[in-house]
Structures are given as C-alpha cells and as structure tokens.
Amino acid sequence: MNKIPLLDHDSKVPLHLQAEEQLRKLIRENHFKEGDLFPKETDLARRWGISRNTLRQGISNLVKDGILERKKRMGTTVKKKKISTDLSNWFSFTHEMEDKGIPFKDLESKIAFVKSNQEVSKRLQIQPGTSVVCLERTRSTSRNPMVYFESFFHPRIGLTGKENFKRPLYEMLDEIFHIVPVYSQEEIRAVAANEKIIDLLKIKKGAPVLERKRVVLDSGRRPIEFNICYYRSDWFTYNIEIKRPG
C-alpha cells in the first residue's frame, strides 16, 4: 500500500477521476497484474483519504472497460486486458495505443522493396509488378507478439526505405513528404491464421485472428498506403459507433 501514490486533494481534478487514473497507471505499470486481488476498498479509501463511494466511482469505469472485475465474497481483481480499438480512430497505431496509455514496441521490423502483387496493385491503383516499399512489423506490449502489420506504399510518395519508421508513420509522411492522410477505407473479418501468421504471432494452428485491411488516401482520394494487419483475437476487440441519420 505504501507504494501507491497519494491523491492531490488541492487539485481541481475530482478525486474519483484521480483515483481512476492512479488505478489505470498502477495496472499499466504492472503494479497489479492479471488475476491480482486489489486492496480492500476500505484500505484503499483510507490510504487516499476519500469515501468508499468516491472510490467506487473511480473503480466503476475500470469495471465497465473490462480492466477490473468485481466478484461477491472475493473482491476486485485485475482481468486479462483485451485491447479495444475504435474504427473511427484510424490514425497511426502508435498514436492510437498511446492515447490508451498502452506502450507498444516493435519485436521485429523489416523494410524492403517488393514487386506489387494483384491485390496490392489494385488497392494502390498501380500496374502489377511495380516496385513498392513494404514495411513489415510485429508489435507487442511485452515479449509475446500481439499484432503483425504489412504496409505497402505508393511509389508516388518517394520513400527510399531508409526513413525512420520507428516514428509514428503518418507524422513522418506529413513532415518529410508533405503527404497528409485524410480518408481510410477499412475491411475487417475473422480468418483462420495461415502458417506465416501462426509463426509470427505464436498462436495455435487454425486459431482465429482479426484481419484488418486498410487503404489510406490523401485529400484528392489518391491511395497512399495499403495496410494489412493481423491481430490476435484473444487480445483485441473492435468497437464501432453508428449514429442514426436525422
């Protein structure tokens, strides 16, 4: 308990929001891990000098997000965290995960010039066999791979393959090549992992994965990138919000 930071009672930020953020940070930094039992609410409330009702306000959002789980007679435990990503937020994966407070890293990265196949050519609106830069990345929050990307870039951009792809992708394209992504066309489906994906994501043969295909276009609707992602379905879910017209 002594390692848990105190709340700032002089701050303008409501105490229940401070409590929620502190709990998210403690879980994110593995102070509490999957399956761990949280301190008793009375002890945590006393540590922070707040009421149990205030604490429960902070905990309730973590329960809604599937990060914590309340069980009668057992208390509150940390759930295995599935990462939920939003179809309305299609900018760089790095930025999307940073917004959620999830520090992703590259486990493996490879850049090469390849000849475009039929699908890549159709998506990028180029002739089959055209030389394009292909970026392959396997990414995770730990040593265990969670997502694999293949990105193919339109030769119009002028990539050399020597760029710093450790930076957020669209930020780099904007700053160096003045290419600004404006539109994204998405396709998502569940597929059975092939041998390559099984090996890269360290999953069982025939295991389902989320396949996400994306064509990114500029303001003139010219294709910039064709991207194929394979997400481990035990770690990722997708959300979509649809507003009814009128």
CA-to-CA dists, residue 162 to 9, 66, 111, 139, angstroms: 50, 40, 8, 20
Strand partners of residue 150: 136, 228
Give residue 239's pLDDT.
Answer: 61
pLDDT of residue 232: 86
Classified by CATH at the fold level, domain 83-239 comes out as Chorismate lyase (3.40.1410)
Q: Which two tokens stand for residue 116?
A: 């475009």
Give the separation between CA 56 and CA 20, rounded to whole angstroms.
9
The count of other CB atoms within 10 Å of the CB of residue 103 is 11
pLDDT of 81 higher than 60: no
Neighbours of 80 (CB within 10 A): 12
For the chain, give every domain's residue range.
Answer: 15-78, 83-239
pTM above 0.75, yes or no: no
Range with the lowest mean pLDDT among 76-90, 147-161, 178-192? Answer: 76-90
Residue 77 belongs to what H/E stretch?
strand 75-78
Q: Which residues, listed in sequence order, are joined to residue 202 by a DSSP beta bridge?
A: none
Please give the CATH architecture assigned to the domain spanning 15-78: Orthogonal Bundle (1.10)
Tokens of 125: 């609106």
The residues, ordered by sequence, that sit 6+ positions from 43 with a Cβ below 8 Å of its Cβ are 1
For 182, the 3-state DSSP assignment is coil
Strand partners, 208: 192
> How far is residue 232's CA from residue 230's CA, in Å, rounded to a whole number?
7
Quote the CA–CA distance of 74 and 218 in Å, as a whole number. 53
Among 153, 172, 157, residue whose Cα is nearest residue 226 = 153
Q: Of 57-61, 121-125, 160-164, 215-219, which has the strongest mean pLDDT?
A: 121-125
pLDDT band of 35, cuts 50, 70, 90: confident
Q: Please tell me the distance from the alpha carbon of residue 95 to that of residue 171, in angstroms, as a whole number.
A: 10
Element (H, E) at 93: helix 93-99
State the pLDDT at residue 83: 47
> What's the chain's Rg over C-alpha atoms?
22
Distance of alpha carbon 26 from its chain centroid, rounded?
19
